[in-house]
Amino acid sequence: MHVKSVNLETVCGITSKIPQNDKLEIAFAGKSNVGKSSLINCLMNRRSYARTSQKPGKTQTINFYNINDLLYFVDLPGYGYARVSQEIKKKWGKMIENYLLQSKQLRIIFLLVDIRHEPSKNDVEMYNWVLHYGFNPIVIATKADKISRGAVQKHVSVIRKTIKCVEGTPIIPFSSLKKTGIDEVWEYIEDMLEYYEAEKNGDSIVLEGEAD
C-alpha cells in the first residue's frame, strides 16, 4: 500500500474514552523500547511521525493514526518499564484492557518482541492476555539486523517455544534499518483490509489459511 496521508487523529490518556471509529483498526503492542514507533514509522514511510525515544516508556497513551482515511494504526502503551510506578502500570493495563474490550473495529494485534532475547515474562503475559480477549496476535521479532542472518530462525524458534504460540502463528523477523519484514507485515494488513471491507459490504471472502 502506498501511504499518501497520515494523521494522528486521537490520543487517549488514562481517563479518556476509547473512540468508536468506523474504520479497520490494527494495533501494535510490545514492551518499552522494543521498536514499536520505528515499525509504525517504517510502515507509514515517515521518518519520525510516531515519536521514537531512547528512553523506555515514552508511549503513555493510545495513539490512533489515520492511514489514507482507510484504516487506523493503534499504538498501545509500552509495558514492562521498571521506572513507572505500579499504580501507573495498573492504569495503563486497564486502558489497554478497555480498548481490547470496547473496540468494534480491531482485527489484528501485532505483538512485538526483541529477536535478540528470550521473550520476557511480560511478553508471555501480554500474548496470553491478547489470546484471552479473542485475538491471535501476529508476532513481530524486531531488531533482526542486530543478529546474523544465519541465527534468525534459531531465535524465532526460541520465541515460539517461550511464548508457546498457537500453532500456525506467524513470527515475522523485522528490521526498521534494513526494512526486513516490511512487505510481510503489509501483506497481513492489506489482506485484512480487503476482508474487512467485504465484511462491511456483506460480501463473502476467505482469508488465506481459513480455507481447507
Is the Cα torsion angle 112, 117, 118, 120 positive or negative in sign? Answer: negative
| 6-199 maps to CATH 3.40.50.300 | yes
Please give the average per-residue pLDDT across 32-61, as a whole number.
Answer: 76
Of 88, 165, 152, the C-alpha closest to 123 is: 165
- Taking only the tens place, the pLDDT of each residue in 60-113 is 789 999 999 999 999 998 887 656 567 766 777 888 899 999 999 999 999 999
The structural domains of the chain, with segments of one domain joined by +, span: 6-199
Of 109, 84, 86, 83, the C-alpha closest to 24 is: 109
Report the Cα–Cα distance between both ends of the chain, in Å, rounded: 28
Confidence check: pLDDT of 203 > 80: no
Its pTM surpasses 0.85: yes
pLDDT over 90, % of the chain:
70
The pLDDT value recorded for residue 58 is 53
Please give the average per-residue pLDDT across 191-200, as a whole number.
Answer: 93
Phi/psi at 174 (5° precision): -140, 140
- Cα–Cα distance, 202 to 143 (Å, whole number): 40
- Taking only the tens place, the pLDDT of each residue in 120-146 is 999 999 999 999 999 999 999 999 999
Of 199, 198, 150, 201, the C-alpha closest to 173 is: 150
Among 176-180, 191-195, 200-204, the range scoring the smallest mean pLDDT is 200-204
Confidence check: pLDDT of 212 > 50: no
Q: Residue 123 burial (CB < 10 Å; 0-12/13-18/19+)?
A: buried
Phi/psi at 25 (5° precision): -120, 130
- Cα–Cα distance, 183 to 71 (Å, whole number): 17
Please give the average per-residue pLDDT across 33-45, as a whole number.
Answer: 92
Q: Which residue has 481517563 as its cell numbers?
A: 15
The pLDDT value recorded for residue 3 is 93
- Cα–Cα distance, 135 to 43 (Å, whole number): 22
